[in-house]
Amino acid sequence: MKIENTKSVILRPLLLGLLGLAVGGGLFVYYYFFKEDTSVAAYVINGAIALVGFLGIVATIYFAIEQYLKIKTKKEGQIVKAQYVSHYSNVSAGKINYYKVTYKYEINGVSQEKTSKSEFIWKEVLTLKAVDNFQIRVLNGRVVLDCDLDKMFEDNKQAVLELEERYNKAREEVAKIVSKN
């Protein structure tokens, strides 16, 4: 749903894939040609590193196609207003939770309800919830966000901060109830 920076979407897995191929393949060649006593484990480990590198390259191709389709949808898709429904998180990286956002929209008289991938941070979720209606583009069932989340946050900063305060109060109340038990 969100369109990320194309360079970072493609370069990260590409560089990791090339690094894996170079290290795994290089060590494999080294052990095969220059090392006399080499264990099978060395070949297996180097092969595994090279395989991870190959998978990184395959992932790069997949991400490039996904990015192309998102950009095409952003350029050619039909503009539609979507309405925030709910959010939840089951993915975290480090100390950051990534949220899925469920939204609904109507196109050609047919109501649709979809859930995004886990790609929104807490500030973006609160922004979408505070705004409630936001613009998307739809093309062949693909949906991309057609608004700048940072600008939406700045334009609705007070409402987002009030919403965050309500969530914080609710968390405090839950913590009090849990600590009593």
pLDDT in tens, 131-163: 999 999 999 989 999 988 999 999 999 999 999
Q: Rounded to 10 degrees, what is the CA torsion of 108, 113, 118, 124?
A: 80
Residue 81 is predicted with a pLDDT of 94
Residue 35 is predicted with a pLDDT of 83
Residue 73 is predicted with a pLDDT of 93
Q: In this model, does residue 96 exceed pLDDT 80?
A: yes
Percent of the chain with pLDDT over 90: 65
Lowest mean pLDDT of 2-6, 23-27, 52-56, 71-75, name the range: 2-6
DSSP 109: T
Q: In this model, does residue 103 exceed pLDDT 80?
A: yes
Residue 74 is predicted with a pLDDT of 93
| Pair type for strands 142-145 and 133-139 | antiparallel
Residue 157 is predicted with a pLDDT of 93
| C-alpha to C-alpha distance for 76 and 45, rounded to whole angstroms | 46
Residue with tokens 């950009």: 71
| Averaged pLDDT, 70-85 | 94
